[in-house]
Copies of this chain bind each other. A is one copy, B any other.
């Protein structure tokens, strides 16, 4: 009897919240998702048991269709799982008030421009050491850094000399050409409020101070 009474409560708990599936103890790409929820003040929980993580998100019997290639994955309030950091961020941005403040027809274009800026900031992250750890693993992501150290040093040199300045120049141009930014202190990449693009660029810069 007590089980029957409790059931609706459990169901509500299961379906009313976001659950982030990501590796324990590492910021990585999961951190971009955490940052969005933390900034917006929206509750979420984490499933970070390494013995179950990959098995859950890559098995359609557990994650539903389609299965996922890699974490982070986010379980949505509907019960569906969504993966790929830019897809997750684009999906939750309007729900968390982080996709700009335009309305009507312009809202969708502003959301897409925020998505564009997120993707470029993540490209910067990927090139130095994000998703495929390019600078530290230029030959093979599955091999040790020590086995490709020489190539890694050469790639790091190219990154510092050529790629990083190019990205920073781009984001400086985005900031300084934002017509609405001037009114609000010049600190927003787009519009006159914090978007997910600002949060992603903040984190990319915070972890890339080399």
Task: Give Cα A131–Cα B134 distance, bound, in whole angstroms.
Answer: 13
Nearest CB in chain B: distance from A95 CB, A: 10
Contact between chains at A84 and B116 (CB < 8 Å)? yes
A125 proximal to B (CB < 8 A): no
Interface residue tally for chain A (C-beta within 8 Å) = 55
Q: Collect the chain B residues with CB atoms within 8 Å of residue A170's CB.
A: 58, 67, 69
Contact between chains at B158 and A140 (CB < 8 Å)? yes
Task: Give Cα A132–Cα B128 distance, bound, in whole angstroms.
Answer: 12
Q: Interface centre among A67, A139, A155, by most B CB within 10 Å?
A: A139
Would you give the 0/1 interface string for A126-156, flagging 1 where the beta carbon is closer than 8 Å to chain B?
Answer: 0100011010001111110000100100110
Residue pairs across A and B with Cβ atoms less than 8 A apart, 23 shown, are A58-B173, A60-B173, A65-B179, A65-B190, A66-B113, A66-B116, A66-B174, A66-B177, A66-B190, A69-B120, A76-B109, A78-B105, A80-B109, A82-B112, A82-B113, A82-B116, A84-B115, A86-B115, A123-B131, A127-B132, A132-B134, A138-B151, A142-B158
Chain A residues engaging chain B, CB cutoff 8 angstroms = 58, 60, 65-69, 76, 78, 80, 82-84, 86-88, 90-91, 105, 108-109, 112-113, 115-117, 119-120, 123, 127, 131-132, 134, 138-143, 148, 151, 154-155, 158, 162-163, 167, 170, 173-174, 177-179, 189-190
